[in-house]
Structure 1
Amino acid sequence: MDGLTISWIGALVGLALAIILILRKLNPVYALFLGAIVGALIGGANLEETVNVLVGGTQSVMGTVLRVLAAGVLAGVMMESGAAETIAQAIVRKFGGSRAILALALATMIITAVGVFIPVAVLIVAPIALSVGNKMGISKVALLLALSGGGKAGNIISPNPNTIAAARGFDLDLSQVMLGGFVPAVCGLLMTVWVASLLKNKGIKVADDEVPGGEVDMSKYPPLGRAIVAPLVAVVLLMINPIGSISGIEALANFKVDAMYILPLAGIIGMLAMKQGNKILQYTASGLNKMTATVLILIGAGGIAGLISASDLSTQVVALIDASGISGTFLAPISGILMAAATASTSTGVILATGSFGEAILNMGTAPLAAAVMVHTGATVIDSLPQGNYFHVTADAMKMTIRQRMGLIPYEAIVGGTMMIVATLLYGFIL
């Protein structure tokens, strides 16, 4: 690809084609690859150069793919052992019915923050939400906003694929990006609770026949003390280096162990703590299976990111920003918003934004950590559109129609927008 510059028109056509094909229900991986191929050819590349563009793009995401596969061990342990369910139930019981919305949002935030995918976190907490909503008379839109907003807040401080992609995109440690998203995440949680509380009497309520039958049998799940071991080990190990750097303790600052080692180790330690070491093959296989779809989409996103990176699209966008007179700092959150909206995926959006605009963002003087957090939070603003799986998974979990689920998107954008604005103010202008 040396010396090859694809026309920005080809890049836009390729991205648009990929989006249209995804909306037409073509497998997202094939849609992304086909969009990249057509875009490269339209942009002026020949057949051989087009292959090189795709290969180069997919190679650029391999570091992220390795870490996502490693994270599958922790995710498999948390989901299959029932640890995630234990944590969610404990939080809701602790806060009680009077603070139901806060409890549901916080439970989903914590479940996502400890390494469970946000759609899975919503699926875990949704039965609890339906039961609480039925008893308290809380509307479905308020309940799902509590789950989705809490999940979004947890997602930007989690060892999930999107955070890994943000870290790798700007050559940072995973722990730095997780820590960097903490203040925006707290603000997102508070906004979620506030907006959901305003909506609790608006819209359709939970019907009696939509409530899961009977009480959940918690005897089959591990006790809370054992359930939190895996995420606790992961957080402690990931935070050793940042704490050492901040405190000036050289021994801790020199502890540089990649998340690729830490996340599986935390999962295995948690498994042993729950006395389920004999299920290591089952849990790791399950974790790998759950990561496979994400990995394939990341590879597809790498292909189209290769197209955009080989084009002059970022140059055109930078020129447009310069002409408009707005600060170049805004390129980071804008790129995250646009790419995540296009693909209806936080992780795919982050991959595309960092791969396509990362160099341009840094060239405008934005620090790597600031760039990563702003891109990452930007990708949470409108990432739950109908062309993505999250939209449909969450609608099914709360027994909502497509129209009812569509009505939630503006409120989710308020939560994601709050986190993006806080991150932009904090890292773009204050720090």
Structure 2
Amino acid sequence: MDGLTISWIGALAGLALAIILILRKLNPVYALFLGAIVGALIGGANLDETIKVLISGTQSVMGTVLRVLAAGVLAGVMMESGAAETIAKAIVKKFGGGKAILALALATMIITAVGVFIPVAVLIVAPIALSVGNKMGISKIALLLALSGGGKAGNIISPNPNTIAAANGFNLELSQVMMAGFIPAVFGLAVTVLVASLLKKKGIMVTDEEAMNQETEDASKHPPLKTAIVAPLVAVVLLMLNPIGAILGIGFLESFKVDAMFILPIAGIIGMLAMGKASKILDYSASGLNKMTATVLILLGAGGIAGLISNSDLSTQVVSIIDSAGISGTFLAPIAGILMAAATASTSTGVILATGSFGEAILNMGTAPLAAAAMVHTGATVIDSLPQGNYFHVSAGSMYMTIKQRMGLVPYEAIVGGTMTVVSTLLYGFLL
């Protein structure tokens, strides 16, 4: 905003207050807005300027909000039709019990990659994991790491809000950011399987009672695999036409520039028709919209506090510290993603804050937009599953774990996210 620079002290104070309020169980949206207001006032803004800071910040996320709402159609179709569960069960059945950890991680990765939120993906696969874990003698911590690590890997190649935010934050196509996450995601999956395999006899085991409680609805109501994969397949094909055309030099494909805001709902509708669920279009789209509402509200809150940070000199101070320490400016992108996602315990909110607050500084240090998006995005997966976020509690409940038991998983999740961040930083920050 012209003529206004908020003190970095105010920006940090506002962010700290938002985190404290979230930990105190205040609704995250109100916590983020209140942190932005208090931070702006502490940083030297008057009441009128504070409102302008919040408005400018929320306006900056509206492109992301529109695409997230559009993605609700695909998400609703995948979840409500049973298509996601069909895909998960097919993967686990294909690999068998001998490769249970790989099967569970891959199933969650694919379910998340096709547009299902990671907490929902974990809830979908968790009953299967508990049943398999009980039969094979695999501990809860290994099972949940397989689900969470697989979900993290799928999340960075998905049309989910976090990927949309990373693309929008650096003015890129969604398909570009999805493709950039593929190699880091493969490494993330491999590390997940390796670490979870080492932990499979460590900690609390699944009881017979917990395994028996996992009866799900009649599987005959779910679509067959050949129709369940139509929606995600259409979405991936349409999203990838433009980058494939650019790579291969095919003119008519390269000119196919249709935004994800159109592609994702279209894929959902085609998938519905393929499954013979045309009569459910209103129900599925309404369900998808309801599931996106909480995310949209949090994105608006994140936009408010991003407005505070982007109108402050915090990024200048961080860049000065990096310069004085002799650290390559390339590391600002992953560091921003790690810190912002840790602060908010949310991948998508962390990406919004990192791109909105540090995006310009990252690009000014010579980092290319795609490299910046990839590094911020993977950085946001390192320590995003902390207790102030809903994913921590949803995933703990899915595996009947206590808060203490769930906290024990955080370092292992950080290994998975850290691996993807290191791979992404080496690949896009130094090699390409």
Flag the 1:214–1:45 CA change in 2: closer, same or farther, 3 A. Answer: closer
Q: Which residue pairs with 1:200 in the alignment? A: 200
- Looking at structure 2, the residues matched to 363 and 277 of structure 1 have their Cα atoms a distance apart, in angstroms, of 49
Q: Which residue pairs with 1:364 in the alignment? A: 365
AA of the residue aligned to 2:308 = L
- Looking at structure 1, the residues matched to 84 and 304 of structure 2 have their Cα atoms a distance apart, in angstroms, of 34
1:95 aligns with 2:95: yes
Q: Which residue pairs with 1:422 in the alignment? A: 423
1:106 aligns with 2:106: yes
Q: Which residue pairs with 2:41 in the alignment? A: 41
Q: Which residue pairs with 1:58 in the alignment? A: 58
Q: Which residue pairs with 2:341 in the alignment? A: 340
Any idea what SS the aligned residue of 2:385 has?
A: coil
- Looking at structure 1, the residues matched to 4 and 251 of structure 2 have their Cα atoms a distance apart, in angstroms, of 45
How far does residue 212 in structure 1 lie from its aligned partner after superposition? Answer: 3.6
> Mean Cα displacement is larger for which, 206-215 or 129-138?
206-215
1:322-341 alignment to 2 at 5 Å?
322-341=323-342
- Looking at structure 1, the residues matched to 108 and 401 of structure 2 have their Cα atoms a distance apart, in angstroms, of 19
AA of the residue aligned to 1:245 = A
Q: Structure 1, unaligned stretches of length 5 or more?
A: none
Runs of 4+, deviation exceeding 6 Å:
none
AA of the residue aligned to 2:39 = G
Q: Which residue pairs with 2:260 in the alignment? A: 259
Flag the 1:215–1:49 CA change in 2: closer, same or farther, 3 A. Answer: closer
> Mean Cα displacement is larger for which, 206-215 or 316-325?
206-215
Whether the 8 Å contact between 2:163 and 2:178 is mirrored in structure 1 is: yes
Q: Which residue pairs with 1:164 in the alignment? A: 164
- Looking at structure 2, the residues matched to 192 and 151 of structure 1 have their Cα atoms a distance apart, in angstroms, of 10
Q: Deviations over 1:106-144 (max 9, x none)?
A: 000000000000000000000000000000000000000
- Looking at structure 1, the residues matched to 214 and 36 of structure 2 have their Cα atoms a distance apart, in angstroms, of 50
Identity of aligned residues (%): 84
How far does residue 215 in structure 1 lie from its aligned partner after superposition? Answer: 6.0
How far does residue 213 in structure 1 lie from its aligned partner after superposition? Answer: 4.4
How far does residue 3 in structure 1 lie from its aligned partner after superposition? Answer: 1.1
Q: Deviations over 1:308-342 (max 9, x none)?
A: 00000000000000000010000000000000000
- Looking at structure 1, the residues matched to 251 and 313 of structure 2 have their Cα atoms a distance apart, in angstroms, of 43
Q: Which residue pairs with 1:410 in the alignment? A: 411
- Looking at structure 2, the residues matched to 219 and 54 of structure 1 have their Cα atoms a distance apart, in angstroms, of 50
1:80 aligns with 2:80: yes
Whether the 8 Å contact between 1:141 and 1:200 is mirrored in structure 2 is: yes
Any idea what SS the aligned residue of 2:116 has?
A: coil
Q: Structure 2, unaligned stretches of length 5 or more?
A: none
Q: Which residue pairs with 2:303 in the alignment? A: 302
How far does residue 411 in structure 1 lie from its aligned partner after superposition? Answer: 0.1
AA of the residue aligned to 2:197 = S
1:155 aligns with 2:155: yes
- Looking at structure 2, the residues matched to 370 and 197 of structure 1 have their Cα atoms a distance apart, in angstroms, of 32
Q: Which residue pairs with 2:236 in the alignment? A: 235
1:176 aligns with 2:140: no
Q: Which residue pairs with 1:21 in the alignment? A: 21
AA of the residue aligned to 1:228 = I
Any idea what SS the aligned residue of 2:202 has?
A: coil
- Looking at structure 2, the residues matched to 212 and 191 of structure 1 have their Cα atoms a distance apart, in angstroms, of 30
How far does residue 218 in structure 1 lie from its aligned partner after superposition? Answer: 1.7
TM-score between the two structures when normalised by the length of structure 1? 0.99
Any idea what SS the aligned residue of 2:238 has?
A: helix
Q: Deviations over 1:277-306 (max 9, x none)?
A: 000000000000000000000000000000
Q: Deviations over 1:353-402 (max 9, x none)?
A: 00000000000000000000000000000000000000000000000000
AA of the residue aligned to 2:324 = A
Whether the 8 Å contact between 1:14 and 1:37 is mirrored in structure 2 is: yes
- Looking at structure 1, the residues matched to 183 and 353 of structure 2 have their Cα atoms a distance apart, in angstroms, of 25
TM-score between the two structures when normalised by the length of structure 2? 0.99
Any idea what SS the aligned residue of 1:331 has?
A: helix
Any idea what SS the aligned residue of 1:35 has?
A: helix
Whether the 8 Å contact between 2:127 and 2:214 is mirrored in structure 1 is: no
Whether the 8 Å contact between 1:234 and 1:263 is mirrored in structure 2 is: yes
- Looking at structure 2, the residues matched to 316 and 251 of structure 1 have their Cα atoms a distance apart, in angstroms, of 46
AA of the residue aligned to 2:338 = I
- Looking at structure 2, the residues matched to 115 and 249 of structure 1 have their Cα atoms a distance apart, in angstroms, of 28
- Looking at structure 1, the residues matched to 141 and 403 of structure 2 have their Cα atoms a distance apart, in angstroms, of 12
- Looking at structure 2, the residues matched to 213 and 356 of structure 1 have their Cα atoms a distance apart, in angstroms, of 45
1:128 aligns with 2:128: yes
Whether the 8 Å contact between 2:130 and 2:214 is mirrored in structure 1 is: no
Whether the 8 Å contact between 2:341 and 2:351 is mirrored in structure 1 is: yes
- Looking at structure 2, the residues matched to 117 and 92 of structure 1 have their Cα atoms a distance apart, in angstroms, of 20
1:359-398 alignment to 2 at 5 Å?
359-398=360-399
Q: Which residue pairs with 2:354 in the alignment? A: 353
Whether the 8 Å contact between 1:91 and 1:103 is mirrored in structure 2 is: yes
AA of the residue aligned to 1:182 = F
Whether the 8 Å contact between 2:131 and 2:214 is mirrored in structure 1 is: no
- Looking at structure 1, the residues matched to 197 and 306 of structure 2 have their Cα atoms a distance apart, in angstroms, of 39
How far does residue 214 in structure 1 lie from its aligned partner after superposition? Answer: 7.3
- Looking at structure 1, the residues matched to 374 and 239 of structure 2 have their Cα atoms a distance apart, in angstroms, of 17
AA of the residue aligned to 2:354 = A
How far does residue 36 in structure 1 lie from its aligned partner after superposition? Answer: 0.2
- Looking at structure 1, the residues matched to 215 and 354 of structure 2 have their Cα atoms a distance apart, in angstroms, of 44
AA of the residue aligned to 2:258 = V
- Looking at structure 2, the residues matched to 66 and 369 of structure 1 have their Cα atoms a distance apart, in angstroms, of 21
How far does residue 193 in structure 1 lie from its aligned partner after superposition? Answer: 0.1
- Looking at structure 2, the residues matched to 3 and 335 of structure 1 have their Cα atoms a distance apart, in angstroms, of 25
- Looking at structure 2, the residues matched to 359 and 254 of structure 1 have their Cα atoms a distance apart, in angstroms, of 29
AA of the residue aligned to 1:87 = I
AA of the residue aligned to 1:8 = W
AA of the residue aligned to 2:270 = I
- Looking at structure 2, the residues matched to 389 and 80 of structure 1 have their Cα atoms a distance apart, in angstroms, of 21
- Looking at structure 1, the residues matched to 246 and 422 of structure 2 have their Cα atoms a distance apart, in angstroms, of 27
Whether the 8 Å contact between 1:127 and 1:212 is mirrored in structure 2 is: no
How far does residue 250 in structure 1 lie from its aligned partner after superposition? Answer: 1.2
- Looking at structure 2, the residues matched to 291 and 169 of structure 1 have their Cα atoms a distance apart, in angstroms, of 19
- Looking at structure 2, the residues matched to 294 and 6 of structure 1 have their Cα atoms a distance apart, in angstroms, of 28
Any idea what SS the aligned residue of 1:76 has?
A: helix
